[in-house]
Amino acid sequence: MFTLALRSLRHRATAMTATFVAILLGTAVMGSFTPLIQVALDPGTPSAEQETLLVLGGVVGAWGTVIALFSVVSTVGITVRQREVEIGLLRTVGAEPRQVRALVRAETLVVALVAAVLGALVASLTSRALLELLQSGGVVGEQVVHSGGGVALAATVVLLLVVSLAAAGLAGSRASRGPATVAPSEGRAGSGRIAWWRWAVALVAVGQTATMVAMTMATGKDAANPYDAMAMTGSLGLLLAVGLAALAPLLLRAGSWLLRPLLVGTSGHLAAYNTSRRSHLLAGVLAPVMVLSAAAVSILMLVGIDERTLPAGLSPELTEEFETINLLNNVVTAMICAFAAIMVVNAFAAVLADRRLELHRLRLLGATPGQVRGSVLAEAGIVAAVGAVVGLLAAQATIVPFAYVRGEGVVPDAQLWLPPLLLAGAVALTLASAVGATSRALRATSDAR
């Protein structure tokens, strides 16, 4: 199976590139922060610097880890789910389900191992650059020395490999169920039931968010430290977005139904149909759009509210804490948004990588390149609209309680132009990703003809 996996990878370079990019970037993001924990635990690190490094490596790194692992699981699921016909063909020539799962795991292991090692090499440089940035900003002292982070990076690589193999095994098990057949079940791809664990993740996220919002609004105004409310609400928008991303297929089907009256013409009809039919696949694009929208809006609005409402006459210690927290917020925003933006592009490339035959069939049925491109662009529009709206709603879990506690009410006093601007950027990125991926697929289709 390992030899077969190597041969299969040579013929699936485009599709497996999406998995490679997701794992490489996930390792780089996680590995940029986890070495800071190792630096903090080094006996030579002053105790005054340890807490800051542990917060950066633990809290900020934990959010990066959650998003990175979520994207890896989603991307691996997309690439395996698109191989239904290939897996069915293997079953009809005698391959057992366990052999199919072994093949999928072997392919994923090869890709994940190379990507994770390269990602760790990148992280070894970015973690040093991050520490230098913290030192130049006065967050940690110049006496703090980067210890290399070898143990932390090795642990990061092992974690990515375990998660990738688990995702491949789960997706392979799902794809190899049932009788052996080469007939694709694309018509049922979007109507599948939402797995129980998705509902569990969403319920936990919604419950935790609601609890923290209620606690903040009830007790936040009486807190002695003005940053207690930020600590309680700062991550709620992102937490809710990640939780709702588990229900992305359901949200996409609902959004497609609501937007159907706005989609006219042949391209609009195809887009509405394909979005519902392929909701589980397109959910891999919707999830990073939601995370991108929620993270950018919630954190940047939080920073704006904080700068406007910070009490006067703070002690030097609290002023330094203010500068540190805002630097952390900016770092988190940049990291999450950059990673999510890349994953939007990567996910669309993965979704369209194996739709060339479908696009070719549409061309044979008389669809023009413009109609095909318009249909995929309309699908991207649905994904972008649903992702932007859900991301904006999730961001309110951070904005509303923090603005209320800081005396601005449930609606912030300023910067109301910022959310529409950020959401427009997320929508534009999604549409541009769709245009680029569709153009490549159409060129490949034309070459095949």
| Domain span including residue 387 | 192-449
29 in a structural domain: yes
Q: Is the pLDDT of residue 191 over 60?
A: no
355 in a structural domain: yes
Query: Do 201 and 174 fall into the same domain?
Result: no
Query: Do 247 and 171 fall into the same domain?
Result: no
Query: Do 137 and 233 fall into the same domain?
Result: no
DSSP-assigned letters across all residues of 58-74: IIIHHHHHHHHHHHHHH
**Number of domains the chain contains:** 2
Query: Do 308 and 422 fall into the same domain?
Result: yes
What is the distance of C-alpha 32 from the center of its chain? Answer: 17
Query: Do 339 and 246 fall into the same domain?
Result: yes
Q: Tell me the three state secondary structure of residue 25.
A: helix
Percent of the chain, pLDDT > 70?
80
Query: Do 214 and 108 fall into the same domain?
Result: no
18 in a structural domain: yes
| Token pair belonging to 2 | 């390992």
Among 146, 179, 212, identify where a domain stops: 179
Query: Do 172 and 213 fall into the same domain?
Result: no
363-420: per-residue pLDDT in tens? Answer: 777 777 777 777 888 888 899 999 999 999 999 999 999 998 888 888 888 889 999 9
- The predicted pLDDT at position 386 comes to 93
AA identity, residue 54: L
AA identity, residue 170: L
Rg (CA), the chain: 23
pLDDT averaged over every residue in the chain: 78
187 in a structural domain: no
C-alpha distances out from residue 43 to 148, 294, 297, 378, Å: 14, 38, 39, 57
C-alpha triplet 55, 74, 442: angle, nearest 5°? 130
213 and 233 in contact (C-beta within 8 Å)? yes
How many CB atoms lie under 10 A from the CB of residue 181? 14
Percent of the chain, pLDDT > 90?
10
Query: Do 199 and 90 fall into the same domain?
Result: no
CA distance 437 to 320: 46
Q: Is the pLDDT of residue 346 over 90?
A: no
Q: Note the residue count of the chain.
A: 449
411 in a structural domain: yes
Query: Do 434 and 317 fall into the same domain?
Result: yes
Query: Do 153 and 202 fall into the same domain?
Result: no
In 310-417, where does DSSP find H-type helix? 316-353, 356-364, 369-405
Query: What pTM value is reported for the model?
Result: 0.76
AA identity, residue 348: F
Q: What burial class does residue 93 get, using C-beta atoms within 10 Å of its C-beta: 0-12 exposed, 13-18 middle, 19+ buried?
A: exposed
Query: Do 135 and 223 fall into the same domain?
Result: no
Query: Do 132 and 222 fall into the same domain?
Result: no
Among 151, 179, 207, identify where a domain stops: 179
pLDDT band at 181 (very low <50, low <70, confident <90, very high): low
Q: What is the mean pLDDT of residues 187-195?
A: 57
106-142: per-residue pLDDT in tens? Answer: 888 888 899 999 999 998 888 888 888 777 766 677 7
Q: What is the mean pLDDT of residues 204-229?
A: 81
Among 132, 156, 179, identify where a domain stops: 179
